[in-house]
A and B are shown apart, each in its own frame.
Chain A
Amino acid sequence: MAKVKLTVNGRAVSRDVPDTTLLSEFLREDLRLTGTHVGCDTSQCGACVVHVDGKAVKSCTMLAASASGGEVTTVEGLANGELHPMQKAFNDNHGLQCGFCTPGMIMSGVDMVNRYKQAGRELTEEAIRHELEGNICRCTGYHNIVKSIQDAATKM
């Protein structure tokens, strides 16, 4: 067993879990934060993306124990009284259909915009499409996901 101490969405949590517990499992099963989804078993789909210490991470590829001590933000922790601009942009631009990929898309989108802003680079459509390489959506054909991220980038 491993002791996992994390700050999740601003709240300190501590649990004893088997050493092999993935961060995605820890969030979903131990903390019951089921907004983080699991869509594959080969770290390809990105449905599980959360932020660990401010960076986008596929939570299915990280052990809960190795995140210990860190700060985790999940899609549930993004809204701060009101919707995050990225969340709002997904609603405004019909960036989701079944919603399963959406938490990962939103968390990747926020990270992407932040990184480009920090680096002073322009987030073009081409760049967004390239950056989304690790996030699969089966419903939307990406058209409106790209638009949502473009829209949010102007508001973040």
Chain B
Amino acid sequence: MSDGIGARVKRKEDKRFITGKGKYTDDIRVDNQAYAAFVRSTHAHARVVNLDTSAAEAMDGVIAVLNGHQLTGDGIGNIICGWAINSKDGSPMNMGAWSALATEMVRYVGDAVAVVIADTQAQARLAAEAVEVEYEELPVVVTTPDALADGAPQIHENAPGNLIYDWEIGDQAATDTAIAGASHVTEMEITNNRLSPNPMEPRSAVAIYDEGEDHYTLYTTSQNPHVARLVLSAFYNVAPEHKLRVIAPDVGGGFGSKIYIYPEEITCLWASMKTGRSVKWTSDRSEAFITDAHGRDHISTAKMGFDAAGRILGLKVDTIANFGAYMSLFSSAVPTYLYATLLSGQYNISNIHANVRAVYTNTVPVDAYRGAGRPEACYLVERMMETAAREMGMDPAELRRINFIQEFPHETPVIMTYDTGDFDGNMDKAQAAADVAGFAARKAEAAARGKLRGIGYSAYIEACGIAPSAAVGSLGAGVGLWESAEVRVNPVGTVEILTGSHSHGQGHETTFAQIVAERFGIPIDNVQVVHGDTDKVQFGMGTYGSRSGAVGMSAIVKAMDKVEAKVKKIAAHTLEASEDDIVIEGGEVKVAGTDKSMAWHEVGLAAYLAHNLPEGMEPGLKEGAFYDPVNFTFPAGVYIAEVEVDPETGVTDIVQFTAADDFGTIINPMIVEGQVHGGIAQGVGQAMLEHAVYDEDGQLLSGSYMDYCMPRADDLPSYTLDHNTTVCPNNPLGMKGCGEAGAIGTPPAIINAITDAIGNNDLAMPATPQTVWRAIQAAKAPLAAE
């Protein structure tokens, strides 16, 4: 089947996007449309002394000005973090109260204190500016070290010392002993810079309250509409689930930031009921910078001990994670189960201990951003490996090879069981594709041009498709992490796939259709993928953590199994053959070894006519399935960056970037490569360009595209990609996931390459020309002093 598994099928969904016919949330305008504008705190930490809305209420077009007291008075619940992490002393994490509209206190610049609902967006915005808020300013904490300092200002009463939890994993004593006995110890302080996710489509919500039905509809920019509905119902008391429909139509990128249920969606729904108007809100970019959950922001110290042959004996890590002013939905899981559990990297390490403290600061809440914890782990491990190789005078690839895990399954000391992999094979492919052998000559040639050329490696591993539900439940997750699907075969033989996964760029409408086309031998155009609407799809956990392939498609396969079984029964009955002899091939349902067959659509028709079905069979041809994985999946790969630095300016060119990934089975290589490209660009962004920076008063300095440097086309090279495949043994298609790899594997490769080029290992992200230039000067300084 030319459109089946492994085919580079062009995307079915493209047509509407390239012709301007996509339907994003902000494109939706309903009858009786009113608009919301939020009044936001301009202080990072303050008490709200007085809120005067009278001037705003008197303005043209203003329907209502609503505040947090009204919101909580109506029983709207506080925003929650859905993953409970206990400190190492057994105490529960300290979650501070977060109301969608603040009542007494504001804790970051951007915290919403009121909302204006007006006839037009311009009127709403104008009136929001006329709301007078009197604040009593309080001392501010911005950085992680400051948050934990003695006498630091308290952000939440129930989090003494601003500490959310103090958590650990692994065996501390054994790790200390192992490192004490090492012949070489590499020690580093490593900062993972704070980022702003910046999907190009700003968040948006259209909330519609139907008084007659006492029913709500929410159009929203969500990666997981069912989770949104669940949380809006069960925790925020906006409406019970059967009275709330959530639709995530075309969504313009997410990268994690559209997982969460934000104050704005809650407020729009509630305001729609309050005002009897449909309420629409669309963020502008400035608002996105101060309200979308940020990512990363870790500070760590690490020690890695080696024996004389370069084998790793132990790794000890101490990390502080900045959570911002409130605990966002999955924040607590990021520096624990998505980070510390990956600190073994691709290496056979017997002893690992990690201590993680999470702290509050007066900044935007921080949560999962593409990779979520795994980029931080990979950056730490891979910077340590490269540094250790330099310190021990070993080839960095060789040091990695010596330590690569060779046998699977492999249990790490940080609770992961890697199912399969071929780490040497990934390295071989990456080194060949990057022509590592020719590097010395290229370096010499660059030197002749006055350029510093460097090469850097990164061998990443990630855990995707977080599961099984019982296991994540035992670790504190407040949800199950399965996926659901329904396969509907229509009487004419066309097929609808209803999936709980959500596509916001990943190409599910094509990839998911491919596995159906392959299985049933029907044209891909006869398959429609339906997603993103809680009224259409029964349930779903959505798309994040590279789970749509390994988990979402597995659910489709399970449902197809059931459809196939029924198809075979109907065909066997009609063709008077044994069920075991029925095969589905090339759009026909045949009796193997005979010329007896039915066309695929004839079986569909037979199922719905129900004139002649096997005794006792229900009419129709539609099956659903829930799939709960048995383990995480473990994509892994090797990335190699080659850079040229201009020593006069610090300007760095990425002259070559090579990625060799093992994603298990690949359904559509074109789409998978696209995912890697985008991930690499975000990784380069983190390594060289992007940084969410606050001043000491808690004002975001990088709050627009003038100050926050997004990767542009001319910051990036064309990439060289290769694949190595070990099939995941734990799901029906053998898939591992590919969405986050690029963002995880790239930053250490880049920084390892730049530090190699300039001969100074002390370099922080983002490695801007200024930072690189300074590092070059610092490397020269001792020489000058001699």
Q: Which residues of A contact B (CB under 8 A)?
A: 18, 20, 28-29, 32-42, 44-45, 47, 74-76, 78-79, 83, 87, 90-92, 94, 96-103, 106, 125-126, 128-130, 132-133, 135-146
On whether the beta carbons of B10 and A94 are closer than 8 Å, the reply is yes
On whether the beta carbons of A75 and B20 are closer than 8 Å, the reply is yes
Name the one of A29, A76, A91, A98 contacting B253, with C-beta atoms under 8 angstroms.
Answer: A98
On whether the beta carbons of A138 and B200 are closer than 8 Å, the reply is yes
Which residues of chain A are within 8 angstroms of B198 by Cβ–Cβ distance? 138
With A40-B705, A99-B505: A87-B18 Cβ-Cβ less than 8 Å: yes
Which residues of chain A are within 8 angstroms of B713 by Cβ–Cβ distance? 128-130, 132-133, 135, 137, 142, 145-146
23 contacts between A and B (CB under 8 A): A34-B24, A34-B26, A35-B19, A36-B20, A37-B200, A37-B201, A37-B252, A39-B285, A74-B20, A83-B19, A94-B11, A94-B670, A98-B252, A98-B504, A99-B16, A99-B505, A126-B714, A133-B712, A138-B253, A138-B682, A139-B678, A141-B682, A146-B713
On whether the beta carbons of B714 and A98 are closer than 8 Å, the reply is no
CA distance A106 to B567 in the complex (A): 45
Least distance between B690 CB and chain A CB atoms (Å) = 11
CA distance A138 to B250 in the complex (A): 16
On whether the beta carbons of B718 and A96 are closer than 8 Å, the reply is no
Which residues of chain B are within 8 angstroms of A35 by Cβ–Cβ distance? 19-22
On whether the beta carbons of B14 and A141 are closer than 8 Å, the reply is no
Which residues of chain B are within 8 angstroms of A41 by Cβ–Cβ distance? 284-286, 704
On whether the beta carbons of A75 and B19 are closer than 8 Å, the reply is yes
Least distance between B220 CB and chain A CB atoms (Å) = 15
On whether the beta carbons of A97 and B505 are closer than 8 Å, the reply is yes
Name the one of B11, B19, B678 contacting A76, with C-beta atoms under 8 angstroms.
Answer: B19
On whether the beta carbons of B18 and A98 are closer than 8 Å, the reply is no
Which residues of chain A are within 8 angstroms of B676 by Cβ–Cβ distance? 141
On whether the beta carbons of B718 and A125 are closer than 8 Å, the reply is yes
CA distance A149 to B57 in the complex (A): 51
User: Is B625 engaged at the interface, CB distance under 8 Å to the other chain?
Assistant: no
B: number of interface residues (CB 8 Å):
58
With A36-B20, A47-B200, A132-B714: A99-B285 Cβ-Cβ less than 8 Å: no
User: Is B671 engaged at the interface, CB distance under 8 Å to the other chain?
Assistant: yes
Q: Which of B676-709 contact A (CB under 8 A)?
A: 676-682, 704-706
Least distance between B293 CB and chain A CB atoms (Å) = 15
CA distance A87 to B676 in the complex (A): 23
User: Is B764 engaged at the interface, CB distance under 8 Å to the other chain?
Assistant: no
On whether the beta carbons of B122 and A132 are closer than 8 Å, the reply is no
On whether the beta carbons of A97 and B200 are closer than 8 Å, the reply is no
Which residues of chain B are within 8 angstroms of A18 by Cβ–Cβ distance? 122
Which residues of chain A are within 8 angstroms of B673 by Cβ–Cβ distance? 94
Which residues of chain B are within 8 angstroms of A91 by Cβ–Cβ distance? 10-11, 14-15, 18
CA distance A99 to B14 in the complex (A): 8
Which of the listed residues A78, A96, A100 has the most CB atoms from chain B within 10 Å of its own CB? A100
CA distance A102 to B200 in the complex (A): 10
Which residues of chain A are within 8 angstroms of B704 by Cβ–Cβ distance? 40-42, 44
Least distance between A156 CB and chain B CB atoms (Å) = 15
User: Is B404 engaged at the interface, CB distance under 8 Å to the other chain?
Assistant: no
Which residues of chain A are within 8 angstroms of B505 by Cβ–Cβ distance? 97-99, 139
Q: A42-B285, A138-B253, A138-B678 are in contact. List 8 more A-B contacts (CB 8 A).
A: A40-B284, A40-B285, A94-B673, A103-B17, A136-B200, A136-B705, A142-B713, A143-B719
Least distance between B401 CB and chain A CB atoms (Å) = 29
With A91-B14, A92-B10: A141-B507 Cβ-Cβ less than 8 Å: no
Which residues of chain A are within 8 angstroms of B681 by Cβ–Cβ distance? 140-142
CA distance A128 to B714 in the complex (A): 8
On whether the beta carbons of B718 and A106 are closer than 8 Å, the reply is no
On whether the beta carbons of A141 and B719 are closer than 8 Å, the reply is yes
Least distance between B657 CB and chain A CB atoms (Å) = 10
On whether the beta carbons of A140 and B24 are closer than 8 Å, the reply is no
On whether the beta carbons of A34 and B200 are closer than 8 Å, the reply is no
Least distance between B745 CB and chain A CB atoms (Å) = 13
Which residues of chain B are within 8 angstroms of A146 by Cβ–Cβ distance? 713, 718
Interface 0/1 of B220-257, CB less than 8 Å to A: 00000000000000000000000000000011110100
CA distance A28 to B779 in the complex (A): 54
On whether the beta carbons of A99 and B250 are closer than 8 Å, the reply is yes
Measured CB to CB, the nearest residue on chain B to A125 is B718
Least distance between A40 CB and chain B CB atoms (Å) = 4
Measured CB to CB, the nearest residue on chain B to A92 is B10
Measured CB to CB, the nearest residue on chain A to B18 is A87
Q: Which residues of B contact A (CB under 8 A)?
A: 10-11, 13-24, 26-27, 29, 122, 198-202, 250-253, 255, 284-286, 504-507, 670-671, 673-674, 676-682, 704-706, 710-714, 716, 718-719, 742
Measured CB to CB, the nearest residue on chain A to B703 is A42
CA distance A18 to B61 in the complex (A): 15
CA distance A100 to B522 in the complex (A): 31
On whether the beta carbons of B18 and A102 are closer than 8 Å, the reply is yes
On whether the beta carbons of A129 and B24 are closer than 8 Å, the reply is no
Measured CB to CB, the nearest residue on chain A to B671 is A94
Which residues of chain B are within 8 angstroms of A99 by Cβ–Cβ distance? 13-14, 16-18, 22, 250, 252, 505
On whether the beta carbons of A100 and B200 are closer than 8 Å, the reply is yes
Measured CB to CB, the nearest residue on chain B to A74 is B20
Which residues of chain B are within 8 angstroms of A75 by Cβ–Cβ distance? 18-20
CA distance A137 to B24 in the complex (A): 16
Measured CB to CB, the nearest residue on chain B to A128 is B713
Measured CB to CB, the nearest residue on chain B to A88 is B18
Name the one of A47, A87, A140 contacting B674, with C-beta atoms under 8 angstroms.
Answer: A140
CA distance A79 to B21 in the complex (A): 12
Which of the listed residues B706, B714, B716 has the most CB atoms from chain A within 10 Å of its own CB? B714
Which residues of chain A are within 8 angstroms of B716 by Cβ–Cβ distance? 129, 141-143
Which residues of chain A are within 8 angstroms of B19 by Cβ–Cβ distance? 35, 75-76, 78-79, 83, 87
Which of the listed residues B29, B198, B253, B507 has the most CB atoms from chain A within 10 Å of its own CB? B253
On whether the beta carbons of B200 and A76 are closer than 8 Å, the reply is no
Which residues of chain B are within 8 angstroms of A98 by Cβ–Cβ distance? 199-201, 250-253, 504-505
Least distance between A108 CB and chain B CB atoms (Å) = 10
Measured CB to CB, the nearest residue on chain B to A145 is B713
Which residues of chain B are within 8 angstroms of A47 by Cβ–Cβ distance? 200
CA distance A90 to B21 in the complex (A): 15
Least distance between A96 CB and chain B CB atoms (Å) = 6
Name the one of B21, B253, B286 contacting A139, with C-beta atoms under 8 angstroms.
Answer: B253
Which residues of chain A are within 8 angstroms of B677 by Cβ–Cβ distance? 140-144
On whether the beta carbons of B705 and A45 are closer than 8 Å, the reply is yes
On whether the beta carbons of A106 and B680 are closer than 8 Å, the reply is no
On whether the beta carbons of B718 and A143 are closer than 8 Å, the reply is yes
CA distance A74 to B704 in the complex (A): 26
Which residues of chain B are within 8 angstroms of A125 by Cβ–Cβ distance? 718
Least distance between A88 CB and chain B CB atoms (Å) = 8
Which of the listed residues A39, A94, A97, A106 has the most CB atoms from chain B within 10 Å of its own CB? A97
Which residues of chain A are within 8 angstroms of B670 by Cβ–Cβ distance? 94
Which residues of chain A are within 8 angstroms of B23 by Cβ–Cβ distance? 34
With A90-B18, A142-B716: A97-B706 Cβ-Cβ less than 8 Å: no
Closest 9 interchain pairs by CB?
A35-B20, A99-B17, A100-B252, A141-B681, A98-B505, A141-B677, A97-B505, A44-B705, A75-B20
Least distance between A38 CB and chain B CB atoms (Å) = 8
Which residues of chain A are within 8 angstroms of B22 by Cβ–Cβ distance? 35, 99-100
Least distance between B634 CB and chain A CB atoms (Å) = 23
